[in-house]
Every structure is written in structure tokens, then in C-alpha cells.
Amino acid sequence: MLKQILISLVAGAAVSAAAAVTPAYLDPSRDIEERVEDALSRMTTAEKVAILHAQSKFSSPGVARLGIRGLWTTDGPHGIRPEVLWDEWDQAGWTNDSCVAFPALTCLAATWNPEMSALYGRSIGEEALYRGKDVLLGPGVNIYRTPLNGRNFEYMGEDPFLASEMVVPYVKGVQEQGVAACVKHYALNNQEVNRHTTNVIVDDRTLYEIYLPAFKAAVQQGGAWSIMGAYNYYQDQHLCHNRRMLNDILKGEWGFDGAVISDWGGTHDTAEAVANGLDLEFGSWTNGLSNGASNAYDNYYLANPYKEMLAKGEADTKTLDDKARRVLRLIFRTSMNTSKPYGSLCSEAHYAAARRIGGEGIVLLKNDKGLLPLPLSSEKPVRLLVVGENALKMMTVGGGSSSLKVQREVSPLDGLRAAAPAGMTVDFARGYVGDVTGEYNGVTSGQDLSESRSPSELIAEAVEKARAADYVVFVGGLNKSAGQDCEDSDRESLSLPYGQDEVITSLAKANPNLIVVNVSGNAVAMPWVKQVPAILQAWFLGSEAGNSIADVVFGKVNPSGKLPMTFPVKLEDVAAHAMGEYPGVKRQGEDVWDEKYNEGVLVGYRWHDTKKIKPLFPFGHGLSYTTFSYGKPVADRREMAVGETMTITVPVTNTGDREGQEIVQLYVTDVKAPLQRPAKELKGFRKVALAPGETKEVTFTITADDLAYFDADAHSWATHPGKYQAHVASSSADIASTVPFTLR
């Protein structure tokens, strides 16, 4: 009897000890892959399917039985979107879901500074973390193919090398906070008109050289934990479940181990979604429960229909496990990560970051006779006139899914007034009326921009005040309304809307000291460019917009931004409009628009330079309040073989009287290419800070990879021996020196 009792006690102790052992999937000290496999082994088929689709507008479930948390996503990429109701787009009515709006990604790209990208990623990641978000739906890296694309302001310009260099620090900065970056919109999502029904037809060389590099860099160098599919078609398959893009390239060639997330409403077929690489479905039936099913989310394409396929043997468990494994990996990297920091929201550090990025991204396009910066002191009173609706209008509300609810937003007018020195008076004239509304998705700006005066009366007032002013700053451009810089619509033309050209021309005649500040995420036509002595490209700058603009106007910040896209003189000078089939050709009897990218690799400056079309302002252009000179470059060799490197060092001197930053650019030309290649391509850049009179050496390294083109027939990158040129430049159109070399 005693022996039986002892045996029972020992057995009971063993059971208790076993029960006390933490399962591997719940042990944060274990490797993530071990945790994922352990969790997967404990899940039922129903639980595996359940984590593949949403449970609300912006969240997906975990596995409650196992204590595995779900995922909360949030729109970005410029700030953390306000909370909406569980099943609807309507506002949830929270009072603590305001955020800091950071500058749009066109501005970030215009800094040409990976350090600013890292600062941006860390800052917005901290805001997402504080709000309890696991996945930030951004950044966007679709290539700027046409200036009409309403969503260009969310992307990083026209050059794949620049976008690649800038996206990596952003992704790393976000994910350092335990928040996943979801890089979007993969891929070929280069317009908003017909975005759900456009079938892109593009050759493989163009695909790999222009439209994929930034996504590849985000995955392989940035280690992105998630990717968002695009709405449009490629090879007649939706990009949210596109076999070639997702299975063959993303997961196959690039080795992506994260989760592919659908854009909201981007899933259209269960069989394709199962077979072609989609892992996590959001936004199907985005009007919530009105389809009449109390389990609307269980009726998503990757929900009950998927379970039915599995039950019938029409889908295999290996594919299911791969999807569940990827979602679990995302969960363990984010919501189940117990070592995350706490994050912060609306901190002064974040406002300072937004202001700094904005100031560094503003581009000084023109500055005749040194009109800028405006004087900070004067022996007599100075009168400054600010004109334009964009000097007042909040730009953080509107534009689509990146619309924000901010804690505060400094307008350009308020920023200029706050920064104006003693003795300077700042007056205002409306000049024109654009969009007087200020509402998106239930968030309102609270501004009353209503106006009863006629356009002629507004111009007359502005001209009268301009004649009496010492300086005039016109703040205009585009806004976030439909048909301008806005999701789900493209611009109607390259021209400024609301009769602004007439306003600017009238002001130029009334006052020679006119500064135009263009607020936009796109290039605009400037028929008045020769009449205006100073022009700033100011982008959408977020919460600190007015302060960033004032910092540059008054010289607190020496402008150092450079254009991440070409400003054409006219729309016909853009390759997509001269050669392509924008916005596509409608198929007879089908709701599909085929759009051929006939321009191939000649996108942006590649087209302008190759075809010798003079732009309004070239890619990489940007002036400073100081001046820089480039010395003679020195190459360590003039001949190299595959596997070898060549370095080029060039001295750069600040020849002015102000501290400033210069962006030194390196372009490469294939002199005798066996196929059509652009006149030159960006292959390197460095941003260097210089005190007056200071000289620093900038070094670039060139490898055979920098000379490669994509050989579609061999499906590999290829180089050929021959003569090349390396150009040290301050823009794509301003070459300081050229170094010829040979590849053996």
C-alpha cells in the first residue's frame, strides 16, 4: 500500500512538473522558428484557417485557445490613422487617437538622406507601438511613372536606386519597435484611375530594373516582415493573388519569409488566393455585415470557402501550413513579442523629427539674385504678404487612407508669422478659392474656408496688397481632394488648379520680390517660371508644415533637398504619355483596361536624358543658400573585371558663406550597350555637410553589379565587357566631371 502511494505521489509530481513547463511557443527565450513550429503543431485546421483573414476592419484573430494574440493593423505611411468602428469605416469617436503627421514620402525621398529615413521609421514606429498596432501599412515604394498618379505623394519618386536606398532604413526603424512594416503596393500600381481593373503589360527587363528593386531591397536588406499586394492586374491575375509576383519572385527568388497581406478589398477568388501566395486577407465586403451574414468575416475568400476546399480535398494542408506559418511568424515578431519598448505618441521628439525631415526635404528650385532667405533684420519696417489658400488649408485631412487626425498642424501662414523677425508685419490675401471642405472619413479640419468673393475680386485684393509689400510669398499648388493628390483618382492635367497661374502671373507683375511655395506630391506645370525669381517645392509636410517652410524661408535651415522626380515642361514630355498607353485601353466586352508600358526602362530622367528632352527641373536638382564646387575626381583604377571594385573619390568644397549640405550624385553610362539603355542611371549618392570654406572627400564604389542589366531571355542579371562612364553630378542634368573606365 505504501509502495502504491509513493508511486502515485511520484507520478503526480511528474505530471505537475510537466504541466508547469512553458510550451515552446509561449517561451520568449526560444527561437521564433521553434515557437512557430510548436504553435503550428498544436493548431486545428479550423484555427489555421481562422488566422488567415480579418475579424474586423483592421484586425485579425489569433488563437484564443492557445493564448496566441491576433494582429492589429493601421494605415500609414505618414502617421497612425484614427480608430474606426469594428465593422465600419465610421469614426470610433475616441478622444486619444490623434497623432503626429510626418511629411509625405515624396518629402522623405527628397532629403536623399538615409539618416532621415531611419529617424522617420523609428518615430512613426514608436507612435504605432504606443497605439497598440502590430502592422504599419507602409511605406509605399511604387515608381513615379506619371505625374498624374493621385497617390504619388505616398511614394519615393521615380528612381529605383533612390527608393531602394531610402526604404531600407524606414523599414528597419519601424521594425526595431516590434511593429511590422508592410511595404506596398506590390507591384506595378502606378496610377489610381481604374486601379481595380487595369492589367499592366510590361516586359521582364523593365519589371526587374525599374519596378521591383525597391521592393526587393525592402525584403532582402530591410528584412520587411510583411508585404501588401496591389489592386491591379498583372498577366491577367490580381496582384493580391498573383502566382508569378508572390510565389515565384517574392517568396521564391527573394526568399521572403513574411506574410503577404491583401489590400482592403483586393481579394477576388478563393482558389487563386489559396494557390498564388496570399497569406492574410483584409477588407473583403468592406461594408461590414450588410451582406446579411452574421459571420461575415467567416465568409471571406480565405475563410469558410477555404475550409470547404480542404474538406473536399481541393486544397492541400502543406499550402495551408505555409500560410499559417507565415502569419504566426508575423504574430511572434510583433504582438507576441514581449521585449518591445513602450513607444510614445505626440511627443516633442516626434514633432521635432517631423520638422527636421520637412526642412531637409524642401527643395529650392530657383533663387534668382539670392532673394531667399528673407532678411532677419532690417533698419526699416518690412512688409511681407502671404497669398494663397494653401497657406491656410490643413493638408493632413484627406487624400485617402493616409488621411490623419492630428493633435496639431501648423499652417504655412502661422509658421511664417511666428518666425517673422521684429519689425516685419505679415499680411494675408486669399488669392484663389480651391476646396473649402475639410472632411475625410469623419475627421474634420474645423476650418471655415468659405468665400463669397469672385476670382477677379480675390486677385485684385492680392495685387493691391502685393504692390505695397516688400516681399510676397505665394503658397499654392495641389491639395488632397479627389482629382489632385488623392487615392482612388488621378489628376486631370499637369496644370495648377483653381486659376492659380493667373494669380501668380498677376503677383509677379505687381511685385518683383515674389516667392512661390508649391505644396504638392507631384510635379506641376509652371508657365510663369521665368517671371518668378524664387520657387520652393514644399510637398505635404504634416504637422510641422508651417514651421518647416518658415525655417527655410528665413534661413534657419539651409535648403538641401533635391527632386526625387523630374519636373517636365508639359505632360507630353513624360514617357508614359508619349509612348505608353495611359490610362489603358478597355477590352471589348470586359471591365478590364490593358495598359502597355511601351516606354520600357526609360522612366523619368532616363527618358528625358536619352531623348534629349529638356525638363522644367531635372531629377536630383536642388539649390542651396551657399555654393559648392567639385574638384577633380580620382579613380583607383580605370579598368576592372567582374568581382573587382573601382573607387572614385571627389573633393567637394563649400565656396559660400553659410553652412550647408550637398548631395553628390553618381551616374553610370554604358557607352556601347548591346541593347537600348538609358543615357545614364543613378548608382550612388552621398549627402555631405560642409562649413564655409570646408572641403570633404566623397567616395563612391562601383562594382560589376552597378553595370548590370536584366537579361530577360536568360532570366538573370548580365554585364558585358566594354567602355563605361561614371559621372559625378549635382543633378541628372548637371554633370561636374566624367571618369571613363573599362569592364574587362
pLDDT digits (tens, 9 = 90+) for 193-248: 999 999 999 999 999 999 999 999 999 999 999 999 999 999 999 999 999 999 99
* Three-state SS at 427: strand
Q: Does the pLDDT of residue 110 top 60, yes or no? A: yes
At residue 580 the predicted structure's pLDDT band, cuts being 50, 70 and 90, is: confident
* Three-state SS at 480: coil
For range 380-408, the mean pLDDT: 97
What are the DSSP calls for 212-238, one per residue?
Answer: SHHHHHHHHTT--SEEEEPSSEETTEE
Of these residues, 97, 134, 159, 263, which one is catalytic?
Answer: 263
For range 640-650, the mean pLDDT: 96
Tally Cβ neighbours within 10 Å of residue 121: 30
**For the ranges 16-30, 368-382, 406-420, 648-662, which has the lowest average pLDDT?**
16-30
Q: Is the dihedral of CA 164, 169, 174, 176 positive or negative?
A: positive
* CATH number of this structure's domain 43-333, picked from the four choices 3.20.20.300, 3.20.20.70, 1.20.1200.10, 1.10.760.10: 3.20.20.300
The stretches of 440-560 forming alpha helices (DSSP H) are: 455-468, 500-510, 545-553
Q: What is the pLDDT of residue 294?
A: 60
Q: Does the pLDDT of residue 512 top 60, yes or no? A: yes
Q: What is the pLDDT of residue 18?
A: 42
Asked if residues 310 and 318 have their Cβ atoms less than 8 Å apart, the reply is: no
Tally Cβ neighbours within 10 Å of residue 89: 14
CATH class of 363-560: alpha beta
First-to-last C-alpha distance (Å) of the chain? 89
In the chain, domain spans: 43-333, 363-560, 626-743
For range 361-369, the mean pLDDT: 98
For range 141-155, the mean pLDDT: 98
Report residue 323 as a C-alpha cell: 500560410
At residue 377 the predicted structure's pLDDT band, cuts being 50, 70 and 90, is: confident
Percent of the chain surpassing pLDDT 70: 96
Assigned CATH topology for domain 626-743: Immunoglobulin-like (2.60.40)
pLDDT in tens, 472-492: 999 999 999 999 999 999 999
pLDDT in tens, 244-268: 999 999 999 999 999 999 999 999 9
- Order across the sheet with 734-743: list the strands: 639-640, 734-743, 722-731, 660-670, 681-690
Q: How high does pLDDT run on average in the chain?
A: 95
Q: What is the pLDDT of residue 293?
A: 54
Asked if residues 526 and 552 have their Cβ atoms less than 8 Å apart, the reply is: no
Report residue 346 as a C-alpha cell: 505626440
How far is it, in rounded angstroms, from Cα 182 to Cα 139? 7
Cis peptide before 139 (omega within 30 of 0): yes
At residue 16 the predicted structure's pLDDT band, cuts being 50, 70 and 90, is: very low
**For the ranges 296-305, 596-605, 630-639, which has the lowest average pLDDT?**
296-305
Catalytic site includes residue 263: yes
Q: What is the pLDDT of residue 9?
A: 44
pLDDT in tens, 54-107: 999 999 999 999 999 999 999 989 999 999 999 888 999 999 999 999 999 999
